[in-house]
Structures are given as structure tokens and as C-alpha cells.
Amino acid sequence: MSFLSHRPRYRPVPKAELHLHIEGTLEPELAFALAERNGVTLPYATTDELRRAYSFTDLQSFLDLYYALMAVLRTEDDFCELADAYLTRAAEQGVRHAEIFFDPQAHTARGIPVAAVIEGLCRALDRSEQQYGITTQLIMCFLRDQSAESAMEVFDAAQPFLHRIAGVGLDSAEVGNPPAKFRAVYERAAAVGLRRVAHAGEEGPPSYIREALDVLGAERIDHGLRCLEDPGLVERLVRDQVPLTVCPLSNVRLRCVDTLAGHPLPRMLDAGLLVTVNSDDPAYFGGYADDNFRAVREALALDDETLRRLAANSFRAAFLDETTRAAYLAEVDGHTFTAFTDG
Ligand SMILES: Nc1ncnc2[nH]cnc12
Ligand SMILES: [Zn+2]
């Protein structure tokens, strides 16, 4: 019997995943299968060789590979399979509700119609509650390193599908692309009742977090790590209980923090921030939702009550109706963290 089989394992705590790019769940095995099906040649001979390329120095070095690998995603079926694969994994990791980002401009720029992307994703999401026990929402992200006009064009192209979309987000290369660039498209999103979130303070300065709140009306901040450099901003985020969707394994892989043991998550919790734990791009960063929970548990010596607080925060921060939120919070309350060993 191996040593590993005696390691304690934990039933994953029920949680909501609020910061998850569906394109970032593209595992090398699926990438190769789709490449073959679609006649796309990848510049890697094997899945192992591709995995070896997952060594990033910053956000941009990751984004270069992330966008390049999307070449294999071409049809509605591809997007459906991608989402199904994520939901299968998420269910194993205790995810009960997922608010899923997608990057339409990364596909329309390659000639893929926005309909293929959204209809493919929705085919998987529509059966998610029954098949995986996971409720879902879609959040359409604008690429901040593209122009404001391009964001407006994709928003126009998505008009027939807006009833399938819960909100809009902002992602891609942060520094040099401040939130205010997207004021107009966020105003249009707000006018039709869409929820608003934005990546800010991952690599960019605290002023981008303020701008996301003040100019875009962001209700949640994705990452938000660099708020800690601005005590006045922290005070505001605590006072208003603005959720921050933190992604610990991502932060280490993209070198936003040096080590997991040095991650500011405990400081953020101590400050009273409404922090949640998420996976960001799990196929690239070494773990899905509960892998992130387990990693911070070990590296930061978090106790069960802190993990329970993080799980509860995820449902508090989710775009759920109050009845569903209460039901999920009751699941968190009723969860026991007892370890079990198998083998
Ligand atoms: N961590 C991240 N930051 C910004 N844009 C992204 N797109 C996918 N993952 C991202
Ligand atoms: Zn992200």
C-alpha cells in the first residue's frame, strides 16, 4: 500500500466558483483531441510537451499560450465538450454553483461566430443542474487589451443571447488597460440589467480597483490583491463588503505572489475583506476549486472554520436569489470537515 493512500483526504466543502475562465479549463488531452478532430496542428508533439510549456513568468506569458491553444476550439460541439469536462471536474470538487467567464473576442477574432460559443456552452450548462448538481451562470468578458470599439462590437453581436448571460466582466492584460476605457460598454450592460464584475489589482495598481468600482460599477473585483497597498481602499472594500475573487494557485503561477505560504489571503481575511477562493484557469495553474482550498489549507495552516468562512463567502458573493443562497449556506453550515483515509 502506498504512502499516498494513507494521506488524509477531505470531503470537499460545498462552494461557489466565481472566477473561472472556461477557456482556462482546456486540458492538454482535450486540446489534442480537438486539434485532431478539427485538423489543427499544435506546435507540441505530446501532452507532456505541452504541459512542460506551462511555466509562466507573468500574466502576459500565460495569456500568449492561453490564446494560442484556443485555436483548437472551433465548433459548438467543442464548446459544449469543454464545459462538460469542466462541470465533471467541478462536481468532484464540491462546486455547487459556478459563474463562468468566457472570452468571445478570442473566438470571433478567429472567425468563430459568437452563436457557436454561447450555444455550445449553454447546451452543457442547461443540463448542469440535473447532470452535475451545479447551478450555473455565464459572464461575458471583454478583452481589455483590445479596443473599446471591439468590446462594443462583441456586445452588439451577443444581443440575441443576452437572456443567457448574467453579467459582463473584464480580463486579459491589465497594466496599461485601465477600466475606464470600457465605461461605455459597461453602461450599456447596466442599462439592460446585466451584472458587472472586472479583473483589477492582479498586476495593475489599486487605482484600477477604484476605477472598476467608480467608473464601471463593478459589483465584484476579480483578484483585487493589490488593494492591500492602499489602506483607504481596503477600508472601503471592507465597509461595502465588495467581494474579491482570489485565485491562490494562479497568483503563484503568474508570480503575483512569490509562494503560497506567503499569500496574503490570511491578511485579507483578518482585514475583514469578503474574500473567496477560486481556480481562474485550472488546466494551466495546477488545480481546480477544491485543489485551491486544499492548497491554502496546507500552505497557510487554515483551520476548518476559516475554510467554512471562505465557502460561505463564495455563496454570499454569488449572483444568486436569496432562497437559493440560503439553501447553499445551510449546506456549508452542515458540512463536516472530517478527514478520511482510503486504501
Ligand atoms: N488571470 C487572468 N487575468 C487576466 N485575464 C485572464 N484571462 C484568463 N485568465 C486571466
Ligand atoms: Zn481571471
Note the pLDDT tens digit of each residue in 199-216: 999 999 999 999 999 999
Residue 338 pLDDT: 79
Q: Which candidate, 14, 17, 12, 21, places its Cα nearest to that of 317?
A: 17
Catalytic one of 76, 174, 202, 211: 202
pTM for the model: 0.96
Is the Cβ–Cβ distance between 226 and 193 less than 8 Å? no
Please give the annotated binding residues, written as ranges: 19, 21, 199, 280-281
Residue 343: the pLDDT is: 47
Counting from 1 in the atom list of ligand 1, the atom nearest the Cα of 103 is: 7
pLDDT at position 151 over 60: yes
pLDDT of residue 2 exceeding 70, the answer is no
Indicate the helix (H) or strand (E) that contains 62: helix 59-69
Q: Which of 18, 20, 21, 203 to mutate to test the pocket of ligand 1 (most atoms within 8 A of CB)?
A: 21
From ligand 2's centre to the CA of 1, what distance in Å?
A: 39
**Structural domains present in the chain:** 13-318 (3.20.20.140)
Average pLDDT of the residues of the chain: 96
pLDDT digits over 173-195, tens only? 999 999 999 999 999 999 999 99
Q: What is the pLDDT of residues 270-319, one digit of tens each?
A: 999 999 999 999 999 999 999 999 999 999 999 999 999 999 999 999 99
E strand or H helix at 245: strand 244-246
pLDDT tens string 47-99 = 999 999 999 999 999 999 999 999 999 999 999 999 999 999 999 999 999 99
- Looking at residue 339, what is its pLDDT? 75
Specify whether the CB–CB gap between 14 and 328 falls below 8 A.
Answer: yes
Q: Is 202 a catalytic residue?
A: yes
C-alpha cell at 286: 495546477
Closest C-alpha residue for ligand 1 atom 6: 172
Task: Identify the nearest ligand to the CA of 172 by its number.
Answer: 1
Higher pLDDT, residue 103 or 339? 103
Does 320 have pLDDT greater than 60? yes
Residue 333 or 10, more confident:
333
Average pLDDT over residues 135-153: 98
Identify whether the C-beta of residue 290 lies closer than 8 Å to the C-beta of residue 94. Answer: yes
Q: Which residues are annotated as a binding site for substrate?
A: 281
Task: Say what the pLDDT of residue 8 is.
Answer: 63
